[in-house]
């Protein structure tokens, strides 16, 4: 009996005739904080979009708790997605809605809570991310870090089994970034969700990740899989060690 929550099998991703990554096969276990890492343009966000079903793979399958997502009917996909919470790189909050309305939307659509219960849940979810009292603010009225936290509050509105993050620390100062990491870790520990994160922020990777995959832009496939701390010290791939130790891969050569 495998503990895999998400299984990627022989996945090939391509835009038309341009292959981004091929033959990706790995598992994400229940309760993992799993990081998808790699250099710029290697296809990290594209892989996340495949996991979310926003892009169809050219080949291969993605299984959630053993069930194929790629071959599921649209209705079944929608019902599987209801167990997920997602925060996008830009937050993905609906700009025409207040923070309360943003969090209320999934509750309104998929639960039978009364309006007053929903208001209580909104206050509770915002309190979890340190934004209680900001119910009536619009995304444009708060800072980038607060937007990310508000997006996290929306992502956990339906108490998901899986939380997806696309570059959660991008554009944040080190303190906000570290607070967000802590928050993700605490929430993961308390709700027991599996976390899948696209990032290349080394402090985030080392402080919270329990497992990872490294996508290589040159060979167009995964070249490392495992605990990032272990990969940093023992990976047989020099590029992976360089990435995880922040060493320039193409040092300037001296002309004579």
Question: If residue 19 lies in a helix (H) or strand (E), which one and from where to where?
Answer: strand 18-29
Minimum distance from residue 248 beta carbon to other proteins (Å): 9
In this structure, the strands spanning 162-166 and 84-87 are parallel
Q: Which residues pair with 63 in a beta bridge?
A: 7, 68
Minimum distance from residue 14 beta carbon to other proteins (Å): 9
Determine, following the binding rule CB under 8 A, whether residue 64 of this chain makes contact with other proteins: no
Between CA 98 and CA 248 the distance in angstroms is 43
Minimum distance from residue 255 beta carbon to other proteins (Å): 6
Determine, following the binding rule CB under 8 A, whether residue 79 of this chain makes contact with other proteins: yes
Residue 252, judged by CB atoms within 10 A of its CB (0-12, 13-18, 19+), counts as exposed
Pick from 3, 23, 67, 78 the residue near other proteins by CB under 8 A. Answer: 78
Pick from 66, 115, 236, 250 the residue near other proteins by CB under 8 A. Answer: 250
Q: Which residues pair with 62 in a beta bridge?
A: 8
Name the 3-class secondary structure at 64: strand
Helices (H), the chain: 44-52, 74-81, 99-110, 115-128, 144-155, 174-191, 202-208, 228-234, 238-244
Determine, following the binding rule CB under 8 A, whether residue 106 of this chain makes contact with other proteins: yes
Determine, following the binding rule CB under 8 A, whether residue 214 of this chain makes contact with other proteins: no
Determine, following the binding rule CB under 8 A, whether residue 89 of this chain makes contact with other proteins: yes
Determine, following the binding rule CB under 8 A, whether residue 52 of this chain makes contact with other proteins: yes
Determine, following the binding rule CB under 8 A, whether residue 256 of this chain makes contact with other proteins: yes
Cβ distance to other proteins smaller for residue 45 or 178: 45
Determine, following the binding rule CB under 8 A, whether residue 17 of this chain makes contact with other proteins: yes
Contacts 24+ apart (CB under 8 A), 113-121: 121/157
Determine, following the binding rule CB under 8 A, whether residue 69 of this chain makes contact with other proteins: no
Determine, following the binding rule CB under 8 A, whether residue 254 of this chain makes contact with other proteins: yes
Minimum distance from residue 118 beta carbon to other proteins (Å): 14
Between CA 14 and CA 36 the distance in angstroms is 18
Pick from 69, 88, 214, 243 the residue near other proteins by CB under 8 A. Answer: 88
CB 196 within 8 A of CB 86: no
Q: How many residues bind other proteins (CB under 8 A)?
A: 35
User: Applying CB under 8 A, which residues contact other proteins?
Assistant: 17-19, 49, 52-54, 77-79, 81-82, 84, 86, 88-96, 105-106, 109-110, 218, 250-256
């Amino acid at each position: 009996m495998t503990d895999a929550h998400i299984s990627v099998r022989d996945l090939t991703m391509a835009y038309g005739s341009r292959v981004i990554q091929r033959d990706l096969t790995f598992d994400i276990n229940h309760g993992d904080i799993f990081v998808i890492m790699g250099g710029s343009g290697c296809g990290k966000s594209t892989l996340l979009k495949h996991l979310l079903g926003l892009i169809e793979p050219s080949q291969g399958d993605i299984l959630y708790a053993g069930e194929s997502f790629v071959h599921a009917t649209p209705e079944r996909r929608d019902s599987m997605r209801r167990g997920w919470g997602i925060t996008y790189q830009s937050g993905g909050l609906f700009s025409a809605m207040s923070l309360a309305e943003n969090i209320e939307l999934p509750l309104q659509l998929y639960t039978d809570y009364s309006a007053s219960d929903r208001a209580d849940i909104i206050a509770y979810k915002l309190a979890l991310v340190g934004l209680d009292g900001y119910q009536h603010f619009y995304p444009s009225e708060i800072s980038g870090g607060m937007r990310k936290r508000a997006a996290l509050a929306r992502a956990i509105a339906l108490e998901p089994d899986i939380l997806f993050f696309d570059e959660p620390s991008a554009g944040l100062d080190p303190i906000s970034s570290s607070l967000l990491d802590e928050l993700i870790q605490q929430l993961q520990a308390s709700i027991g969700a599996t976390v899948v994160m696209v990032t290349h922020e080394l402090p985030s990777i080392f402080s919270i990740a329990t497992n990872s995959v490294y996508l290589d832009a040159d060979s167009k496939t995964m070249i490392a899989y495992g605990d990032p701390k272990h990969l940093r010290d023992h990976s047989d791939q020099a590029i992976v060690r360089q990435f995880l130790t922040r060493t320039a891969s193409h040092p300037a050569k001296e002309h004579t």
